[in-house]
């Protein structure tokens, strides 16, 4: 089927959830995707931060082929070879103690929310005073299931599905005074957790401030509430450290991973301290597919490749270079309001949503994949294999587009994902 036939069929057959861009990709190699016409695209989005090792990586291919010949699924009623191996790697790199495997980001976040409730319940049973409410951040994003939506502030994600889970309050981003006031409102011990994305992704690539993150840690310590760090977009090396919270030297009680963990084989994980984990006993939580042998084998290959090829250093270096080049562009073009990010998680805020839409559409026409998030922000989440020459290609294309009259190019629809 060609693109037009597929578009017509999908329009009729699929739930109308996505405004896809009109491109049909059939294969990929390294940092490039190839469309059905044989054209190669430089991919600076990697499937929304998923394909960290790009396309056709031999370590990923080998893990998929070898594991799929052996066994793909056993259920969590039995042991398999790779769960412990992967959990050991994840606990080593995170500084946390225990892992629960899921199939997606939102499921990892749901596990974190349930753990926070169970942990508070355990504290209450021990005679401590702690409530059941969650404190989350404005412009945060935690996924599409009911608990995730309830902790996501943006109205467009919540409003159609009301009533969402009650007992969630929102703090203005990086506003320490608001954080302290909300956390100590009511009885002063109402909250079982504070929810933070150390670098907000869908919200427009906003790193949380050191002061704010430290204040959240201290507030949690003062009552026994858990500090939940959602690293589904920022985690596993993208920012130049395994976890973005490591840039701050702040240890959360719980973190969540997903997007890049198994390079596109669906997988997520919730990691926590031993103290938090004590609240969970057999039967309280679970999943049928989560942590299956195939996903675990691939995740092990991804982590070992990041280590072997020292991609943390690479992401920091190429990310710093990319950010510096974007800042030079900002100095030349007034329409760029701000350049933000950490490592290979970068955002360029423009002075208009319409412009951001046209720029991302024109980049696609030049066969460079980026997207727009939070209306006005161009987002870059490239594979960890990105080299300086690819950055140069992207910068010169952006320079041309900003310099030109920005005419033509029909808007491609809001590409904001979530």
Ligand X SMILES: *Cc1c(COP(=O)(O)O)cnc(C)c1O
230 binds ligand X (CB under 6 A): yes
Q: Residue 390: beta bridge partners?
A: none
- C-beta of 109 vs 212, nearer to ligand X: 109
Binding to ligand X by CB under 6 A, coded x per residue (else -) over 136-155, reads -----xxx------------
- C-beta of 142 vs 182, nearer to ligand X: 142
CB of 196 to ligand X, least distance (A): 10
198 binds ligand X (CB under 6 A): no
47 binds ligand X (CB under 6 A): no
CA dihedral 225, 49, 74, 300 (to 10 degrees): -90
Stretch that binds ligand X, among 129-137, 228-236, 287-295, 392-400 (CB under 6 A): 228-236
The structure tokens 């675990």 sit at 296
The neighbour count for residue 5, using CB atoms within 10 Å, is: 9
Return the exposure string of 186-220: e unless at least 16 CB atoms fall within 10 Å of the residue's CB, then b. Answer: eeebbbbbbbbbbbbbbbbbbbbeeebbebbbebb
Binding to ligand X by CB under 6 A, coded x per residue (else -) over 254-293, reads ----xx----------------------------------
Token representation of residue 297: 């084998």
197 binds ligand X (CB under 6 A): yes
- C-beta of 195 vs 306, nearer to ligand X: 195
- C-beta of 201 vs 293, nearer to ligand X: 201
* Distance from the first to the final alpha carbon of the chain: 28
Binding to ligand X by CB under 6 A, coded x per residue (else -) over 109-128, reads x-------------------
Strand 254-257, strand 40-43: pairing: unpaired
201 binds ligand X (CB under 6 A): yes
- C-beta of 102 vs 362, nearer to ligand X: 102
Cis omega (within 30 of 0) on the bond before 163?
yes
Asked whether 235 and 257 are in contact (CB, 8 A), the reply is yes
Token representation of residue 194: 């504070």
Binding-site ranges for ligand X (CB under 6 A): 104-106, 109, 141-143, 197, 201-202, 230, 232-233, 258-259
């Amino acid at each position: 089927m060609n693109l037009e036939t597929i578009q017509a069929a999908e329009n009729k057959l699929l739930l109308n959830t996505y405004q896809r861009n009109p491109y049909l990709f059939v294969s990929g190699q390294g940092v490039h995707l190839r469309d059905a016409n044989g054209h190669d695209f430089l991919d600076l989005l990697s499937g929304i931060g998923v394909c960290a090792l790009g396309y056709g990586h031999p370590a990923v291919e080998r893990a998929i082929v070898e594991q799929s010949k052996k066994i793909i699924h056993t259920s969590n009623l039995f042991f398999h070879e790779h769960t412990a191996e992967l959990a050991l790697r994840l606990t080593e790199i995170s500084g946390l103690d225990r892992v629960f495997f899921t199939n997606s980001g939102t499921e990892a976040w749901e596990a974190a929310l349930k753990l926070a409730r169970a942990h508070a319940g355990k504290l209450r049973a021990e005679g401590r005073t702690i409530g059941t409410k969650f404190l989350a951040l404005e412009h945060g994003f935690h996924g599409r299931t009911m608990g995730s939506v309830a902790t996501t502030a943006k109205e467009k994600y919540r409003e159609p599905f009301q009533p969402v889970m009650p007992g969630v309050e929102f703090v203005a981003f990086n506003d320490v005074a608001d954080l302290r006031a909300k956390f100590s409102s009511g009885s002063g011990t109402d909250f079982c957790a504070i929810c933070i994305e150390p670098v907000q992704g869908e919200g427009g690539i906003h790193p949380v401030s050191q002061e704010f993150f430290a204040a959240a840690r201290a507030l949690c310590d003062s009552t026994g509430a858990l500090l939940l760090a959602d690293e589904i977009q920022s985690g596993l090396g993208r920012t130049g450290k395994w976890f973005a919270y490591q840039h701050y030297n702040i240890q959360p009680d719980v973190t969540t991973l997903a997007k890049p963990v198994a390079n596109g084989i669906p997988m997520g994980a919730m990691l926590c301290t031993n103290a938090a984990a004590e609240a969970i006993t057999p039967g309280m939580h679970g999943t049928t597919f989560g942590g299956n042998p195939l996903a675990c084998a691939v995740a092990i290959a991804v982590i070992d490749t990041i280590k072997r090829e020292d991609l943390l250093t690479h992401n920091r270096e190429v990310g710093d270079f990319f950010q510096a080049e974007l800042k030079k562009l900002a100095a030349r073009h007034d329409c760029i309001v701000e350049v933000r990010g950490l490592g290979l998680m970068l955002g360029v805020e423009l002075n208009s949503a319409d412009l951001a839409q046209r720029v991302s559409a024109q980049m696609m026409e030049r066969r460079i994949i980026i997207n727009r998030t939070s209306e006005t922000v161009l987002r870059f989440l490239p594979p960890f294999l990105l080299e300086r020459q690819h950055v140069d290609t992207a910068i010169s294309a952006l320079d041309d587009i900003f310099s030109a009259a920005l005419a033509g190019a029909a808007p491609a629809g809001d590409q904001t994902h979530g």
